Chain A
């Protein structure tokens, strides 16, 4: 029982990281109507920035996290301006998707050239003497609790931002009808940039958390979590922030429990099987809206 609870907490912790990534996916999908395939690689870039600041430059972890957040924000905005914006009116979702794959590949290979393919050992942001916490009968890794707390905090902040501030309302308006929003005087370009900035900043935080929990960092670190977070976003219903949160948590728990109780080699396969089942049974996800397609 104790070990089951431990696995559950591990799962929730991994799931909360997926949730943070999935929220970035879901926001971009909701507003820019595109699947930002490179989102997972922004995580990796964020982790490398934090690694350079904390491990290589030996600066305090707080600076590392801030550098990762702002670095990712910048990358997110640049990627959107350079690669995605020219295709916004192309009328082909395939063209945008292939471009996003190109960006993902580009970021991976830049990291490969700069940091080489040798995995780096990431220094966790939690001090060594506080790595685990003893709670009654069982030990918990501090990073698990931090991940869960950070993800809950971020979701609350984001929901408040979207519902209570003018830029947030503008984002909501753009996601519902971009044309009408621009007629109301909302800057669509600015709002899309803002969305990419917020989503990428969250990816930066996710990168730091992910590499604190699983400290090997390579240019391909972000790819799999990115794809799994997309699964989480679809699971929760793409476009819905609470949905992404729930989807992420569920997926993390499924992955860790599947790894423990079914087969460690098949854990990825189990996650992907979940995606396929969800898409077959409820294509709009747990909390998604039904969208009617028109000619």
Chain B
């Protein structure tokens, strides 16, 4: 056993620790729940924590590994949420709970992945600032479109409209499924902590495996120097597209989990807007850009903190803003980097080379 551990590369040992950490955390929380030590309020937080941690894993893949900034990740989550909730409503009475929910999650992931792929075609031709702003634009477009989408069902089948409920022309036995700005109501409550944990665990394993694979190294080569990576024959667009789509799939699965934890799913700015995308970005930045484990820990802590420190709620967002600015300056200012390197020994001082591409800042 000892022999095996030492023969493993440092990276895969590190990954094993991340996965172990997740499993231990899960076991501890489950133990507390069995023992009745978790109050109902905290119990209600468990699924959102899984959702946000999964989103952090997903966004870390784009920001930390691919090195491009996506400000529209809440949009992918929104697509996944609505696609899966739509599916669940459609087959609410005609399928068993387990296969339906499994399919709903897969569909949420697949539809979000499809959107990620389609959006990636124009977006990934761009770099840096442009890419960030276009992903933001797409996030807003998705939210806008869902808010004008009406879908109803009656004995004649499905009806679609982007105007209003009346223009669907539903028969008397018809029911609304997506009601424009009112969204989807009455999605079955299928999400629970175990499913949430499994989604988080699988996403983490997939991303960690990707990072250690040939593809992952190609993606990181693109991040570190796009032109040099291209000149050694790495197909840049293909790998960028791959990472971006995978990230969207994971975000879609998180969205499906999120949707099945809510009685009414509405595409409000507070839930799926730009502010949510920024929150996910805060998770990734605080956890250390490029570190999957860090992103998960940051997501869990930052989701719990406001619950624990309710009296600080007015200042929470302000503190996030300051955290973003200070983290960036401390990590990237040449003087402070030299200081950290000189005074803090070990792993920290190496400083993960995160995003940035080949842009020269003279």
- Chain A contacts to B: CB under 8 angstroms: 33-35, 83, 86-99, 101-103, 105-106, 108-110, 112-113, 178-179, 223, 227, 230-231, 234, 263, 265-266, 268-269, 272-273, 275-276, 279-280, 283, 293-295
Q: Spot the interface stretch: B39-47, B241-249, B322-330.
A: B322-330
The verdict on A105 contacting B278 (CB below 8 Å), with A35-B133, A99-B328 known, is: yes
Chain A CB within 8 A of B362 CB: yes
Report the minimum CB–CB distance from B330 to chain A (whole Å): 9
Contact between B361 and A105 (Cβ–Cβ < 8 Å)?
A: no
Stretch in B3-11, B189-197, B349-357 touching the partner? B349-357
Q: Across the interface, which residues of A come within 8 angstroms of B102, CB to CB?
A: none
CB distance from B108 to the nearest CB of A (A): 22
Contact: B281 with A295, CB < 8 Å?
Answer: no
Q: Are B130 and A95 in contact (CB under 8 A)?
A: no
Contacts of A86 in B (CB 8 A): 329, 332-333, 335-336
Give complex CA distance A113, B314 in Å.
7
Find the B residue at minimum CB distance from A86: B333
A-binding residues in B (CB < 8 A) = 63, 67-69, 71, 122, 125-126, 128-130, 132-134, 136-138, 140-141, 144-145, 147-148, 162, 225, 227-228, 274, 278, 281, 285, 314-315, 317-318, 320-325, 328-329, 331-336, 354-362
Nearest-neighbour CB distance to chain B for A293, whole angstroms, equals 7
Closest 6 CB pairs of A and B: A92-B356, A102-B324, A272-B137, A106-B321, A105-B321, A90-B332
Q: Is the CB of B332 within 8 A of A95?
A: yes
Q: A97-B129, A99-B328, A283-B130 are in contact. Are A91 and B361 (CB under 8 A)?
A: yes
User: In the complex, what residues of B have CB within 8 A of residue A90's CB?
Assistant: 332-334, 361
Tell me the smallest distance from the CB of B347 to a CB of chain A, in Å: 20
Q: Chain A contacts of B321 at CB under 8 A?
A: 102-103, 105-106, 108-109
**B285 interface neighbour in A98, A223, A234, Cβ under 8 Å:** A98
**Interface Cβ pair total, 8 Å cutoff:** 155
Residues of B within 8 A of A96 (CB): 328, 361
Closest to B121 in A: A280
Are A98 and B130 CB-contacts (below 8 A) given A272-B140, A295-B358? no
Interface class of chain A by DSSP: helix
B122→A93 contact, CB < 8 A = no
- Rounded to whole angstroms, the CA-CA distance of A34 and B356 in the bound complex is 13
Q: How far is B313's CA from A112's CA once the two chains are assembled, in angstroms? A: 12
Instruction: Give the complex CA separation of A227 and B277 in angstroms.
Output: 15
Q: Which of A35, A103, A108, A109 has the largest count of B CB atoms less than 10 A from its CB?
A: A109
Could you say which of B133, B323, B358 contacts A230, with CB atoms under 8 Å apart? B133
B128–A273 touching, CB < 8 Å:
no
Contact A105 B332 (CB under 8 A): no
CB-based contact A106/B281 at 8 Å: no
Q: In the complex where A86-B329, A113-B314 touch, is A101 in contact with B324 (Cβ < 8 A)?
A: yes
Contacts of A108 in B (CB 8 A): 317, 321
Known contacts A265-B147, A283-B126; can you find 20 more A-B pairs with CB under 8 A? A86-B329, A87-B332, A90-B361, A92-B354, A93-B359, A93-B361, A95-B331, A98-B324, A99-B325, A99-B329, A102-B321, A108-B321, A113-B314, A113-B315, A223-B274, A265-B148, A276-B138, A279-B134, A283-B130, A293-B358
Other-chain contact of B362, A102, A178, A263, A294 (Cβ < 8 Å): A178
How far apart are A7's CB and chain B's nearest CB, in angstroms? 21
Chain B residues with CB below 8 A from A88, complex form: 361
